[in-house]
Amino acid sequence: MLTRRSLLIATLPLAAAPVPGWLRPARAQSPAQATQFIDQTAKQLVAIIDAGAPAPQKRAQLQQIIDRDVAVAEVAQFCLGRHWRDATPQQQADYVQLFHRVLLNSIAGHLGDYKGITYTIGRATAGDGGVQVPTVLNRPGQPSANLTWLVANVGGGPKIIDLIAEGTSMRLTQRSDYDSYLNRNGGRVQALLDAMKRQASQSG
């Protein structure tokens, strides 16, 4: 596995790296708009989780939400960091596609862990990196968990660009994991792609 944990969990502070220009929020993005966006997305996710639909149907519904509400290509490029410019155009395209598959597999594989979940959205705050929308997740028989969604305007609309679980950032941990893997493999982007192919083939 290339990651130390699920793609939804991270281990580095959000402020550890600058935010690229294409992930900086537009002036039109407000805390109220981001809160409404996250509430709508979360309601749809909860509906998928609690539905009695078969796994392939849930996966297809989940993919629609990811494609619509998550800035997958932009986050993928961020996670590859300085190695992005070392990749050929074909490798870049393959990497983004694999990143999407691994992300979808990771989330789909954990849907059952959140059966019966409820959530409470706190006060959103705007910053240089986007609008942070704090959420408290409550699972039956489990301690509550703090999750913050980072929302920015990407491509003219609100998109999720990070998940911060208990104060730690998904995209920065993924960036650190990929950087470490590439450093151990001579900086060869193809080595990372081959490993991601193996990871993506484990499910989905």
The answer, as to whether pTM is greater than 0.85, is: no
CB-based contacts of 193: which residues, under 8 Å, 6+ apart?
91, 94, 95, 98
Sorted by where each starts, the structural domains of the chain and their CATH numbers stand as: 14-200 (3.10.450.710)
CB–CB of 34/158 below 8 Å? yes
Which of 79, 58, 56, 110 is CA-nearest to residue 196? 79
CB–CB of 74/154 below 8 Å? yes
Q: For each of the chain's 204 residues, which pLDDT tens digit applies? A: 344 343 333 222 222 333 344 344 444 479 999 999 999 999 999 999 999 889 999 999 999 999 999 999 999 999 999 999 999 999 999 999 999 999 999 999 888 888 899 999 999 999 878 999 999 999 888 899 999 999 999 988 999 999 999 889 999 999 999 999 999 999 999 999 999 999 998 765
Say how far apart CA 79 and CA 87 lie, in whole Å. Answer: 13
| Burial class, 79, CB count within 10 angstroms (exposed 0-12 / middle 13-18 / buried 19+) | buried
Say what the pLDDT of residue 127 is.
84
| Burial class, 44, CB count within 10 angstroms (exposed 0-12 / middle 13-18 / buried 19+) | middle
| Residue 66 half-sphere exposure toward CB, CA atoms < 13 A | 24
